[in-house]
Amino acid sequence: MKTLITGVAGFIGMHSALRLLDGGGEVIGVDNLNEYYDVNLKRDRLSKLQKYQNFTLHNIDINDSKKVDDLFFATQPSRVINLAAEVGVRNSVINPHAYVETNIKGFMNVLEGCRKLAVDHFIYASSSSVYGANKLFPFSEHHNVDHPLNLYAASKKANELMAHAYSNLYNLPTTGLRFFTVYGPWGRPDMALFKFAAAMLRGEPIDIYNNGEMVRDFTYVDDIVEGIFRVVNKVATPNERDAQTQLDPSTSNVPYRIFNIGNGRPAQLMDYVKALEVALDIKAKKNFLPMQLGEIRVTSADTYKLNEWINFQPKTTVSEGVQKFADWFVNHYGRN
């Protein structure tokens, strides 16, 4: 099958493409190679994909509706994975318009391409940040997510609503995946683990927000990608019970599904830091700071529904995953 992946030069995009290519699939990659972070890192990721004959890259911005339409009709994908987005909570406070442009308008253009071509399955990245002010733990897909704490979260919630509308109007199978704090090799430079490693190797202090009193459901990238791979191959179906009873937020009487995709074993931020100290054999200098605007103090994923749907539960521990990241970082950038 042909799978179109937007944001293919990104962290999760590259890993997802590799998983499909290694399985013999054909991948149509889309990326605009923007300068939100180091473009050279994106090019290095792409170099791994371009070794495959069944990979093609299209330098397209999903905000350009005509180019998106033309690409869909030219390539005829059967499945689409939308990972292109403006990402990060803090940047959404600084640059909100970009989040509306890409995460709403761009998402709309991809949805339209899926509709016009009647693709078999549309899978898209949502985020644990949609849980916002929710105080029930662990976060369950059954919980209300109407109280986002930042525009990034609001844009991801909007994606879920838009997908449901298209599932209803056009019988388009859509599956949204709420990612929980993904980390691992080839990660983004704006993510905590990357910034921590770079600072520690330079002998500089690391910034730790909320005085370290943060809990995250850290999820290793290979576990995320295995979940994506299995979901891609299990097309969203209606939940017929929703036609008779009160609607569940995560399913519908149309082909629409929402799943948490997290480790299911939340860890203290300071344990995460400790794992990196062990992996790099460096004692971090720590700069403790207040909570950042729009941040959530705790994330914790209820993964029961995903396990029930695709028979998969992430298994990588924080210590294992952080060691793999550190090994990659040192190999890619060196220790100096």
Domain ranges for the chain: 2-183+220-264+300-315
Burial of 245 (0-12, 13-18, 19+ CB in 10 A): exposed
Q: Contact at 8 Å (CB) between 217 and 7?
A: no
pLDDT in tens, 124-160: 999 999 999 999 999 999 999 999 999 999 999 999 9
- Angle (CA) 293-207-91 rounded to 5° is 40
For residue 299, count other CB atoms closer than 10 A to its CB.
25
- Give residue 240's pLDDT band: very low, low, confident or very high (50, 70, 90): confident
- Give residue 244's pLDDT band: very low, low, confident or very high (50, 70, 90): low
- 220 pLDDT higher than 80: yes
Of the chain, the percentage scoring pLDDT greater than 90 comes to: 91
pLDDT in tens, 77-108: 999 999 999 988 888 888 899 999 999 999 99
Helices (H), 76-180: 89-94, 96-100, 107-117, 151-170
Mean pLDDT computed over every residue of the chain: 95
Single out the residue of 276, 271, 284 nearest to residue 327, CA to CA. 276
pLDDT in tens, 248-284: 889 999 999 999 999 999 999 999 999 999 999 999 9
Radius of gyration (C-alpha) of the chain in whole angstroms: 19
pLDDT in tens, 36-58: 899 999 999 999 999 999 999 99
Q: Which residues are catalytic?
A: 152
- Collect contacts of 166-170 with beta carbons under 8 A, ≥24 apart: 166/111, 166/114, 166/115, 166/122, 167/236, 167/252, 167/254, 167/255, 167/256, 168/252, 168/254, 168/256, 170/115, 170/118
- 324 pLDDT higher than 60: yes
Q: Report d(CA 99, CA 178) in Å as an integer.
A: 17
For residue 133, which phi and psi values (nearest 5 degrees)?
A: -80, 5
pTM for this entry: 0.96
Q: At the topology level of CATH, where does 2-183+220-264+300-315 sit?
A: Rossmann fold (3.40.50)
pLDDT in tens, 171-195: 999 999 999 999 999 999 999 999 9
Q: State residue 242's pLDDT score.
A: 55
**Two structure tokens written together for 230:** 């299995």
Q: Report d(CA 252, CA 203) in Å as an integer.
A: 52
- Give residue 241's pLDDT band: very low, low, confident or very high (50, 70, 90): confident
Q: For the chain, give the longest Cα–Cα distance.
A: 62
